[in-house]
């Protein structure tokens, strides 16, 4: 039952995000404003009930209210209520997009988390290399940005040093919008050098991640036997607010109390 409620919650959150997106499209909002508004009301009421139900069913409600997901839940609920008192509904519209964060809790399936934590592990163990990498990118951007500002000047779109730095990052990461582009010969030569540098620098994070993945692959082989996939849901223990109980759990793994007592 905890599982099927999670699936319902998941669908409503996704629906709510889709509503936010549709509402942001002016032409669509103009046509179907009433439908969107009604749907938003239904979802807000649902979230309100769910929020209150969570607080009631938990023994230590304060712990939940001030937890990360408790705050996310609150912020997912209130935007519509606030828009009564304040103008600028645009901002509240966007706050509703934060509901997406709630999806994380639901998707906390062991399998995915296992992979994600492997990624996290990879990032963690090459923290220093990544720091050197980002530091190099930033220093290069500041120096090259300043140089390009002096060479190109305002006509080519390099109106200030921060803007030049922005352009350098756009170029170094090989994004290349083209809203700002060098026009002088010297500027284009330096741009070409930045590009080839960026082309090479892109190799650094790739190298880091690949080596970490390769390492984990060889250690994973040894550990694999003791890990099992366990499906969990977002039901929280009414006694201690611990989450991620197994789908068929009867007692809280944290405090040992009975889970479905009501």
Considering only residues 30 through 89, tell me which ones interact with a copy of itself, judged by CB under 8 A.
none
CA distance 168 to 173: 8
Do the Cβ atoms of 198 and 163 come closer than 8 Å? no
CA distance 58 to 242: 10
Sole binder of a copy of itself in the list 161, 242, 249, 259 (CB under 8 A): 161
Between 176 and 205, how does the x/- string for binding to a copy of itself read (CB under 8 A)? xxxx-x---x--xx-xx--xx-xxx-xxxx
CA distance 166 to 177: 11
Residues 6+ apart with CB under 8 A from 240: 59, 60, 63, 252, 254, 255, 257
Residue number with CB closer to a copy of itself (148 or 252): 148
Between 97 and 136, how does the x/- string for binding to a copy of itself read (CB under 8 A)? x--x--xx--x---xx-xxx-xx--x-----xxxxx-xx-
Residue 19 in contact with a copy of itself, rule: CB under 8 A: no
Residue number with CB closer to a copy of itself (67 or 146): 146
Among candidate residues 14, 10, 70, 80, the one with its CA nearest the CA of residue 42: 80
CA distance 137 to 172: 8
Buried b (16+ CB within 10 A) or exposed e, 121-143: ebeeebeeeeeebeeebeebbee
Judged by CB under 8 A, the number of residues near a copy of itself is: 81
The residue range among 39-47, 56-64, 160-168, 240-248 that interacts with a copy of itself, by the rule CB under 8 A, is 160-168
Sole binder of a copy of itself in the list 52, 63, 90, 124 (CB under 8 A): 90
The residue range among 40-48, 63-71, 142-150, 247-255 that interacts with a copy of itself, by the rule CB under 8 A, is 142-150
Residue 227 in contact with a copy of itself, rule: CB under 8 A: no
């Amino acid at each position: 039952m905890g599982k099927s409620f999670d699936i319902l919650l998941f669908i409503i959150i996704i629906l709510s995000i889709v509503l936010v997106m549709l509402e942001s499209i002016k032409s669509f909002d103009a046509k179907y404003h009433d439908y969107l508004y009604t749907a938003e009301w239904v979802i807000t009421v649902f979230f309100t009930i769910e929020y209150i139900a969570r607080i009631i069913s938990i023994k230590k409600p304060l712990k939940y209210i001030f937890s990360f997901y408790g705050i996310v839940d609150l912020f997912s609920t209130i935007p519509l209520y606030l828009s009564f008192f304040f103008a600028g509904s645009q901002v509240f519209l966007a706050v509703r997009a934060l509901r997406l964060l709630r999806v994380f809790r639901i998707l906390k399936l062991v399998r995915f988390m296992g992979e994600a934590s492997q990624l996290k592990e990879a990032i963690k163990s090459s923290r220093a290399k990544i720091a050197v990498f980002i530091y190099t990118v930033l220093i290069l951007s500041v120096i090259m940005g300043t140089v390009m500002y002096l060479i190109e000047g305002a006509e080519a779109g390099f109106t200030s040093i921060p803007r030049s730095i922005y352009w350098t990052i756009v170029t170094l990461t090989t994004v290349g919008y083209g809203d700002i582009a060098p026009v002088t010969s010297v500027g284009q030569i330096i741009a070409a050098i930045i590009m080839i540098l960026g082309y090479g620098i892109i190799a650094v994070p790739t190298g880091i991640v690949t080596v970490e993945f390769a390492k984990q692959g060889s250690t994973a082989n040894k550990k694999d036997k003791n890990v099992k996939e366990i499906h969990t849901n977002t039901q929280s223990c009414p006694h201690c607010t611990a989450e991620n109980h197994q789908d068929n759990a009867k007692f809280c793994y944290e405090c040992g109390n009975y889970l479905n007592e009501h």
